[in-house]
């Protein structure tokens, strides 16, 4: 405690005692003048005045010391909790403890404001860092796709001509097989033709991946595109036992996209879901508007996507299917198409099971 504060407190207590003594002397003289200044009466007056002095000194200490200390301790507790109470500041009475309480409350509020600003800045930096990481991943994927695209174009060109010759000779041999030919020979010719057809599909996928057709961006209604994709998927054997539920609200706005390529994306997602569920299960196609975007989700009840595979599902030639069952280009082509339309596509495996592909597209209005 400072010397000024001690002096003020001592002077305040001394003045209270002096006032009590003066009142006692005055009361004693009054009792003497009235002739009733007996020792019991003087003792009673002394006790009353002593109680008054104690009360005055206690009130003074409470106001000068206890209340400022309580304010300091309260502000300290609030600061520790991270949210100082909105208490009115103490007035500057010149007492050191009052000044300390005032300074501490101001410091507590300043620290609280700084803490809030720091938390907001951390949240902003975290969000910016996530966006930067996503942009970096997208850039890496785009560069990888561009490299694979150039390689694919060259391979497709070099393979295309000899593949056409193999397919043509296989068909010629099949047409010239005489009746009653050895079944093993006929089976070998059929296998050659089937293998050539499969290679041809892969080459066409490579060409689609390397040289995507020009976009025709215009407003497209998602319900119509989804219906068209479902009609194409329903004739596939791997989709015969799949139940499809559509959750597309009537007020869903059109998106800005290429109708043909968007239908191809949805068809690929539907067929992938059918493959994942081995032709038996349920697919939910849902849509919603979120701000200026329209979100289309294709979810299935299959086994889901392993966590280690999620970052790679859109990489070219990555597939979880059995050898010979897929080229691993379908989702890569879907990703390239959606990005060309100014949207994004993401994959997830919810805790409830299955896989979900979320396509975000720009609303046309």
3-class DSSP assignment, residue 362: strand
Model confidence pLDDT, tens digit, residues 33-92: 666 556 666 566 566 666 666 666 666 655 666 566 666 666 666 655 655 444 444 444
Decide: 105 and 89 in contact? Cβ < 8 Å.
Answer: yes
Q: Of 143 and 43, which is predicted with more confidence?
A: 143
CATH number of 214-365: 3.30.565.10
Q: Give pLDDT, residue 149.
A: 65
The domain limits of the chain are 3-81, 214-365
- Stronger pLDDT, 31 or 139, i.e. the higher one: 139
Q: Interior CA angle at 147 toward 141 and 148, to 5°?
A: 85
DSSP code string of 194-250: HHHHHHHHHHHHHHHHHSPPPP--EEE-HHHHHHHHHHHHHTSGGGTEEEEEEE--T
State whether the Cα torsion 354-359-360-362 is positive or negative: negative
Task: Output the pTM of the full model.
Answer: 0.52
| Residues 250 and 271 sit within 8 Å (Cβ to Cβ) | no
Whether the predicted pLDDT of 355 surpasses 60: yes
Q: Is 60 exposed, middle or buried (0-12, 13-18, 19+ CB in 10 A)?
A: middle
DSSP state of 321: S
**Residues recorded for the chain:** 365
pLDDT on residue 254? 92
């Amino acid at each position: 405690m400072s010397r000024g504060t001690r002096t003020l407190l001592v002077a305040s207590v001394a003045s209270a005692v002096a006032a009590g003594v003066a009142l006692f002397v005055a009361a004693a003289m009054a009792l003497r003048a009235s002739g009733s200044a007996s020792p019991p009466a003087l003792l009673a007056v002394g006790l009353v005045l002593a109680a008054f002095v104690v009360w005055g000194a206690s009130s003074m200490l409470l106001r000068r010391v206890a209340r400022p200390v309580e304010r300091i301790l309260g502000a300290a507790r609030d600061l520790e909790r991270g949210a100082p109470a909105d208490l009115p500041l103490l007035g500057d009475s010149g007492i050191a403890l009052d000044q300390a309480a005032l300074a501490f409350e101001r410091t507590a509020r300043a620290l609280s404001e700084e803490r809030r600003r720091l938390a907001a800045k951390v949240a902003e930096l975290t969000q910016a860092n996530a966006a930067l990481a996503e942009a970096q991943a997208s850039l890496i994927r785009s560069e990888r796709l561009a490299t694979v695209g150039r390689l694919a174009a060259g391979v497709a060109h070099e393979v295309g001509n000899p593949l056409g010759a193999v397919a043509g000779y296989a068909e010629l041999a099949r047409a010239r097989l005489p009746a009653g030919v050895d079944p093993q020979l006929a089976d070998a010719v059929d296998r050659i033709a089937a293998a050539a057809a499969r290679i041809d599909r892969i080459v066409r996928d490579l060409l689609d991946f390397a040289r995507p057709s020009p976009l025709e961006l215009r407003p497209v209604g998602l319900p119509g595109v989804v219906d068209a994709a479902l009609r194409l998927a329903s004739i596939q054997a791997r989709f015969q036992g799949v139940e499809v539920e559509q959750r597309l609200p009537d007020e869903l706005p059109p998106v800005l996209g290429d109708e043909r390529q968007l239908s191809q994306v949805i068809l690929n997602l539907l067929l992938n879901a059918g493959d994942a569920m081995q032709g038996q299960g349920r697919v939910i196609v849902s849509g919603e508007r979120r701000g200026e975007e329209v979100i289309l989700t294709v979810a299935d009840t299959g086994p889901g996507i392993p966590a280690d595979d999620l970052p790679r599902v859109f990489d070219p030639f990555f597939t979880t299917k059995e050898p010979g069952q897929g080229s691993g280009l379908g989702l890569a082509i879907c990703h390239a198409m959606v990005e060309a339309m100014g949207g994004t596509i993401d994959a997830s495996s919810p805790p409830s099971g299955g896989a979900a592909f979320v396509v975000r597209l720009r609303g046309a209005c």
